[in-house]
Homo-oligomer: A and B are copies of this chain.
Amino acid sequence: MDTRTYSPHIVKYIPFLYVVWADDLLSASEISVFKKAVTEDHLSPEEKKLITSWLNPKTPPADEVITSWKHLIDKSGVKLVESETYPLTSFSMKMSLPGHGEEELSDEKLKFIEINLGIQPNHYRHLFDVETQQVPKANFYDPAKIDAVLKGPHASYIDTFREFLSDPAFQWKISRDKDTFRPRVLEQVKLLASAGYGAMAYESRYGGIDNMPAYAGIFENLMFIDGSLTIKFGVQFGLFGGSIQNLGTKKHHDQWLKATGEGTLLGCFAMTETRHGSNVRGIKTTATYVRETDSIVIDTPGENDNKEYIGNALHSTMATVFAQLIVNGTNQGVHAIVVRVRDDDGNLIPGVRIEDNGYKLGLNGVDNGKIWFKNVSVPRENLLNRFGDIDKDGNYTSRISNPNKRFFTMLGTLVGGRICVAKGAVGGAKLALATAVKYALHRRQFNSGEKIQEDLIMDYPSHQLRLITPIAQTYVYHVTLEHMIRQYTDASETSRRKIETQVAALKALITDFSNKTIQECREACGGKGYLLENRIGDLKNDVDIFTTFEGDNTVLLQLAAKGVLTDFKSEFNSDSYGDILKLVGTQLGDRLTTFNPLFTGNTDKEHLFDPDFHLETFQYHVRRLTFTAASRIRRYVKKGIPPQQVSLNIQTHLLALGRAYGVMLSYEIFSGFVKTLEDEKMQFIFRKLGALYALHHIREHAAWYLEHGYISGAKSKAIRQRVERLCTELRPHVVSLVDGFGIPEHCMTAPISTN
């Protein structure tokens, strides 16, 4: 075949054809996109026939034909400019019409193919001669618009706050010595308080704006400054202030909330004990009501029953202490009491002992301490009495008679803290990803041996998988948490039950995700990622503990699974599997285990991108795991197996259910959100991020889906390939996607993110 005889109409398609046949990139629906463009183009019937003949997957062009295209391309001397919005169209038109001006070289048909096929420079850059670029990026998407979507209704608060963070007091630096790091963080907390940020979630009479979602938003942004600051801020205003706000009543609010928000009253949240972390109901500290003095006496019974890891412990004047409340000799369960631990001069109150917890892996700007109480007496009024009180006659009263329910109602009001922890984890992932992406866009390593310039590491498929997949997850989790914080804020006490279950799953899922992501970012930056100056190291160490505090992830996932099993109706943590069965019993129908057989073998692109397919798949996973867990429980209960043994037998099953539920929930929220986006272009990229999230997670559990015949082997392979393909399709927009996180320039201080 003589290549010189091709008309310009044919020539303009040749780079596309070459790229398409250089690798087996296209599915049937994609071939038809190509054909459609050719059919509708202004070509002669012979030209259409020839091009179409090269588009039949059953009779692909011969190797010689493909090689002849390559010669034609090489001979043309045209160079590929990757940073153009439509690089392949531009290349093809230059080749087809040499010597023509920029304006004439646009071609709508080619653009249509290029955008709809999602073939990207990564698929073909070494097929062509590439024009050397220093900063290769596409600016198809405006990061500010993406950021606006993420900020949502509280954009103005976030913008003002980000600006506020440019204060030199917040400039990040390496801090190794806790004794200088902690005072610095304390000053930062006070500075934030003085500007009103601490009180944002409180009512206006206490200095706030009663806006929990906005508070959660700024909380996440604090991670761009420093993890220790974020956590100390959260302890002071969210945990200590939040306990007064949510567990106390007006007398407590009036007394303490304003000063707490202003940072003039520092407090801590003393729940965890050395021997009891996850099992809070088992804590040993006692709060005994003494009628004679109308006071409550706080006591640490054994040497190892002290409070531990209490953030802000070395700076606090007050502590919200969780203890077994004993009234008239009866243990009424765990309650919270506000206890003064230091006097106005900062000296410990007699009977209180506080020790530094010492150096930790991260968060060394937070003063964690151990606290012991030896018969410390506080007024009866210090009991945070929203859900249980001691009346002036010394009798215990509560409007919630079931002690189990009462306990979980109290804990439930603190669920905002778990949402904030997850938001902080997302903030950490964002900063790490933005840093790693910026580095990958100027770091080059290896070349073809012929070219002088080495490849950007961002152009390696493994690097794209490593960084772009978590970028998609970050978007999904951001949207999910924004939704949850609004739900939580608006919820009634009863609907909070469901939200708690959901948050339990999400906190576990997201903090685990964030840790893995920051680790990937460290490795993706090689030795540079290991230098503290580049921030990823501290992010890694700070976020690490997010998987443990505010509820250990393993425990939370089981809590979530029990919620799913009982359709969110029962008390959490119920050890009675008989009770669970009663609630779940009616659901054990076929409905739980059927699925659409048409999905099983469908490997076409359209289908793999279909949110309905993703949703149905995640829902099937949850339904099926629910059904099998319930069936197992039923069998055990029939045989009289004790509850704790049932727990052990099905523990890993519940963990899988909790995780599957979290993934499903996130995707439900995200895909619902995407539908509400009015800008079509924005909706397009968000849908793509959602598809990558979904296919990544289906791929993670592919073995399970295969075992159950839900997907075929061919489909499993197709999903794996689609995940890689999607990463490549998002590659040109990767700068916009990380800039869309809205991290202020004054926070992007890692040298590798700027050089």
Residues on A lying within 8 angstroms of B by beta carbon are 21-23, 63, 66-67, 70, 122-127, 174, 176-178, 272, 275-279, 282, 308-309, 357-362, 444-449, 451, 454-455, 459-462, 465, 515, 519, 522-523, 526-527, 529-533, 537, 540-541, 544-545, 547-549, 552-554, 575, 636, 638-645, 648-649, 651-652, 655, 699, 702-703, 706-709, 713-714, 716-717, 724
Contacts and interface: CB of A to CB of B under 8 A. Distances in A.
A449 B643 contact: yes
Contact of A644 (B447, B527, B547, B709): B447
A532 B455 contact: no
A527 B448 contact: no
A276 B445 contact: yes
A645 B713 contact: no
A473 B277 CA distance: 30
A625 to B, nearest CB: 13
Contacts of A519: 515, 519
B651 A22 contact: no
26 contacts: A22-B639, A23-B636, A66-B639, A126-B645, A174-B358, A174-B359, A277-B526, A278-B526, A279-B445, A279-B446, A358-B531, A359-B531, A359-B532, A361-B531, A361-B537, A361-B540, A447-B644, A455-B648, A460-B648, A462-B651, A462-B652, A537-B541, A703-B716, A706-B707, A706-B713, A706-B716
Contacts of A123: 649
Contacts of A641: 22-23, 126-127
A716 to B, nearest CB: 5
Nearest to A460: B651
A279 B527 contact: no
Nearest to A527: B309
Contact of A545 (B277, B527, B649, B716): B527
A123 B553 CA distance: 24
B127 A648 contact: no
A22 to B, nearest CB: 5
A333 to B, nearest CB: 14
Contacts of A272: 527
Contacts of A22: 636, 639, 641, 645
B527 A724 contact: no
B523 A126 contact: no
A530 B645 CA distance: 30
A535 to B, nearest CB: 11
A640 B65 CA distance: 11
A581 to B, nearest CB: 14
In this complex, the member of A279, A455, A465, A548 whose beta carbon has the largest number of chain B beta carbons within 10 angstroms is A548
Contacts of A532: 358-361
Contact of A648 (B21, B126, B277, B361): B126
Contact of A575 (B277, B448, B530, B717): B448
Nearest to A538: B361
Nearest to A67: B640
| Copies of this chain assembled into the complex | 2
A444 B309 CA distance: 18
Contacts of A651: 460-462
A448 B545 contact: no
Given A277-B445, A548-B523, A122 B465 contact: no
B360 A530 contact: yes
A713 B724 contact: no
B531 A552 contact: no
A655 B463 CA distance: 12
Contact of A527 (B277, B444, B454, B554): B277
Contacts of A552: 526
Contacts of A21: 639
Given A358-B533, A530-B544, A548-B527, A713 B702 contact: no
Nearest to A576: B449
A597 B640 CA distance: 41
A277 B278 CA distance: 44
Given A22-B639, A642-B127, A531 B360 contact: yes
Contacts of A544: 522, 530, 540
A444 B648 CA distance: 14
Contacts of A446: 278-279, 282, 644
Nearest 8 A/B pairs, CB to CB: A126-B645, A448-B644, A361-B537, A702-B703, A707-B713, A706-B706, A359-B532, A703-B703
A717 B706 CA distance: 11
Given A127-B641, A533-B358, A461 B707 contact: no
A526 B279 CA distance: 13
B462 A655 contact: yes
A532 B703 CA distance: 38
Contacts of A125: 645, 648
B703 A279 contact: no
Contacts of A279: 445-446, 454
Given A359-B532, A361-B537, A462-B651, 10 more contacts: A174-B359, A272-B527, A282-B447, A357-B531, A358-B532, A361-B540, A447-B644, A519-B519, A530-B545, A702-B707
Contact of A526 (B455, B548, B642): B548
Contacts of A531: 357-361
A722 to B, nearest CB: 13
